[in-house]
Amino acid sequence: MRLVFCLFKYFPFGGLQRDFLRIARECVRRGHQVDVLTMAWEGNAEPDISVNIIPVSSRQNHTRAQQFVRKIQPQLTNYDLAVGFNKMPGLDVYYAADTCYQAKARRQHGAWYRLTPRYRHLIAYEESVFSANARTQILLLSKAQQAEFIHFYETPRERFQLLPPGIQKDRVAPDNAATIRSDIRKKLGINKNEFILLLIGSGFKTKGLDRVLLAYAALPDKLRNFSYVYVIGKDDPKLFQRQAKKLGIASRIKFLGGRHDVADFLLAADILVHPAYNENTGTVLLEALVAGLPVLTTDICGYANYINEAQAGIVLASPFKQIELNQALRDMLFSLERMTWKKNALAFIQQADIYSLIEKAVDAIEAIHNKGNSIANITS
């Protein structure tokens, strides 16, 4: 097959971007041609994948997206399938890593927001993928999202295909996990009696970093003075550094930026804290599971059910209440169950299908192409 992958922006530290690249590589491994159309590419070149940067000039994100889509539309028909990783017109396949924007907008904004150009643009692009009359096939990552798309767009159920999670095997705790943990903590200057609270994700606001800082500041002195918050991800930390300073905890909050050694920090930490505002899946929750790291998260995350099933931490119910996060963080740090949560997580990953997303996604892309060819042969 000749495939074109459409993505607004690639950078190495985003969950969607990592999935995009792994799927592209698997397609190439199976003998397919993959060309990429994108507005920006940060990171190393891919020797077997053609990356085409489409120049845009607007400063606003939604008008940049409009320019990008207008420019690439004539090219999409040159391929067997157009696979999109952001919502946009003209796609044969959409990899649904994002939540339902219509549902999110109605939850978070009043009616006035629906008059803005940004809202109208984003809804139009979402509708181009999910409307009842669209032809786009949807690779779904979270079943909870399906109901919202069907509710707002009456999307036929047969256009959805649910994929399992796809955790990379290098995130699994290795035999020398204890040594790695000790080495990382030694480099950080953290002794065995101190705690590392870890937040991972590009987009600190969405991941709930402000909530984490409030919960950390609310800890009793004897806990706060023996713990640190480490933040890994690509985002501007200034707003949260100001919040930490105002709360009097700035010296205990460490921003590490985007990193390639996330797996080591999952082994070095004591709790993954992920009280997200909005999260279609939350791959990092499963990355914590395979590392044996207890998790504190919110039920808004698509993969939060795995934490409950594994009995590997605490999932806070909606609607979110800051006081409940504060108490849960305190309880987890005091709890003698942390080792039990760790053992539960490592036992759970031995029997759960949480690794095959990439292979199943490419299987689905191939099946969609084959089905299209069959229909074409019948009607020709």
pLDDT in tens, 306-331: 999 999 999 999 999 999 999 999 99
- Band (pLDDT 50/70/90 cuts) for residue 170 is confident
Distance CA 263, CA 281 (A): 19
- Band (pLDDT 50/70/90 cuts) for residue 377 is very low
- For residue 143, the model assigns a pLDDT of 85
Judge if 219 and 297 occupy the same domain: yes
Judge if 64 and 187 occupy the same domain: no
Contact 32, 3 (CB under 8 A): yes
Judge if 241 and 316 occupy the same domain: yes
Mean per-residue pLDDT for 196-208? Answer: 96
Backbone phi and psi for residue 63, each to the nearest 5 degrees, phi listed first: -80, -30
Mean per-residue pLDDT for 194-212? Answer: 96
Mean per-residue pLDDT for 218-228? Answer: 95
Mean per-residue pLDDT for 198-205? Answer: 95
Distance CA 207, CA 276 (A): 4
- Percent of the chain at pLDDT > 70 equals 98
- Percent of the chain at pLDDT > 90 equals 91
Judge if 250 and 153 occupy the same domain: no
Judge if 282 and 329 occupy the same domain: yes
Could you give the strand order of the β-sheet that contains 33-41, starting from the edge strand earlier in sequence?
A: 50-53, 33-41, 2-10, 81-84, 93-96, 137-140, 160-162
Backbone phi and psi for residue 259, each to the nearest 5 degrees, phi listed first: -140, 155
Mean per-residue pLDDT for 294-311? Answer: 96
Least Cα distance to 94 among 190, 145, 161 occurs for 161
What's 56's domain CATH number?
A: 3.40.50.2000
| CA-to-CA dists, residue 73 to 33, 67, 289, 329, angstroms | 19, 10, 41, 49
Judge if 197 and 120 occupy the same domain: no
- For residue 376, the model assigns a pLDDT of 45
Mean per-residue pLDDT for 234-244? Answer: 97
Mean per-residue pLDDT for 153-169? Answer: 94
pLDDT at 379 over 70: no
Least Cα distance to 181 among 273, 33, 18, 292 occurs for 292
Distance CA 185, CA 244 (A): 23
- For residue 374, the model assigns a pLDDT of 53
Total of domains in the chain: 2
- Band (pLDDT 50/70/90 cuts) for residue 183 is very high
Judge if 200 and 129 occupy the same domain: no
Judge if 267 and 375 occupy the same domain: no
Range of the domain at 134: 2-164+356-379
Q: Of how many residues is the chain composed?
A: 380
Mean pLDDT of the chain: 94
- For residue 373, the model assigns a pLDDT of 67
Q: Which residues touch 332 (CB under 8 Å, ≥6 apart)?
A: 271, 294, 296, 313, 314, 338
Mean per-residue pLDDT for 200-225? Answer: 96
Look up residue 164 and give its two tokens: 């399992």
* 103 half-sphere exposure, CB direction, 13 A CA radius: 17
Judge if 93 and 218 occupy the same domain: no
Judge if 120 and 206 occupy the same domain: no
Judge if 288 and 160 occupy the same domain: no
- For residue 378, the model assigns a pLDDT of 38
- Band (pLDDT 50/70/90 cuts) for residue 144 is confident
Judge if 174 and 310 occupy the same domain: yes
